[in-house]
């Protein structure tokens, strides 16, 4: 991969420093700015240090290298997303499944910037993570795994309300469909210039899951 020196990090609204005090939050925000501007492969510890206003050796006193820093960035971001989303998931009402799912999807707008500044960050995550086993494990441990467990508990609650019985295998298959629709919608909305249609994706989820019939 050829890395151009022309791109410069553009400071955005603080993200990590909103919930992590001290130098760690500042470093993660600086790294996020650099990686968003240049990508993981081309962003360097030297540029992150410059963004932070410290020397490169000073940065290495906090992190052994760029990979360790990016792993921490992924893990902390994943934990934060799960923490906020779990509050909504745990409060989902099976008797008002459509309204609850719309609330779940729309809740992301309260803590994820829904504008062009988000797109380079999402592209950076989805190009770097799939090619690095350590990064994939961090995402599984801090984001995908915990969210799957939350939703795995939610689906039987709604199924019981609608009188639906699924085998463990059917529940797993339904969970995968549910996550594909939900995550695919959120990700494409962040990365592509397409209008939101929260109600439309909720209608699709409800239909696929069989929750569009009268409750038992």
pTM value is 0.80
With cut-offs at 50, 70 and 90, classify the pLDDT of residue 204: very high
Residues contacting 163, CB < 8 A, separation 6+:
215, 216
Burial class (CB in 10 A: 0-12, 13-18, 19+), 42: middle
Q: Label residue 72 by pLDDT band (50, 70, 90).
A: very high
More confident residue, 190 or 55: 55
Query: Which domains occur in the chain, in start order?
Result: 1-63 (1.10.10.60), 66-209 (1.10.357.10)
Mean pLDDT value across residues 92-99: 90
Q: pLDDT over 90 for what percent of the chain?
A: 43
Residue 105's pLDDT band (boundaries 50, 70, 90)?
confident
Report whether pLDDT(111) > 60: no
pLDDT at 12: 60
Q: Above 60 in pLDDT, residue 50?
A: yes
Please, which pLDDT band fits residue 54 given cuts at 50, 70 and 90? very high
């Amino acid at each position: 991969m050829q890395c151009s020196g022309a791109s410069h990090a553009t400071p955005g609204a603080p993200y990590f420093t909103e919930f992590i005090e001290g130098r760690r939050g500042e470093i993660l925000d600086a790294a996020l700015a650099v990686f968003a501007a240049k990508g993981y492969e081309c962003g360097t510890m030297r540029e992150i240090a410059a963004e932070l206003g410290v020397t490169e050796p000073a940065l290495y006193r906090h992190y052994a290298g760029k990979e360790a820093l990016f792993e921490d960035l992924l893990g902390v971001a994943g934990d934060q997303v799960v923490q906020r989303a779990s509050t909504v998931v745990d409060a989902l009402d099976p008797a008002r499944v459509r309204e609850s799912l719309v609330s779940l999807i729309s809740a992301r707008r309260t803590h994820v910037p829904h504008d062009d500044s988000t797109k380079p960050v999402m592209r950076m995550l989805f190009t770097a993570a799939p090619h690095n086993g350590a990064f994939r494990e961090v995402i599984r441990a801090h984001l995908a795994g915990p969210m799957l467990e939350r939703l795995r508990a939610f689906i039987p609650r709604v199924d019981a309300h609608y009188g639906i019985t699924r085998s463990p295998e059917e529940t797993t298959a339904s969970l995968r469909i549910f996550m594909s629709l939900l995550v695919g919608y959120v990700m494409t909305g962040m990365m592509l210039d397409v209008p939101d249609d929260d109600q439309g994706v909720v209608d699709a989820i409800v239909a696929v899951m069989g929750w569009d019939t009268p409750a038992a």
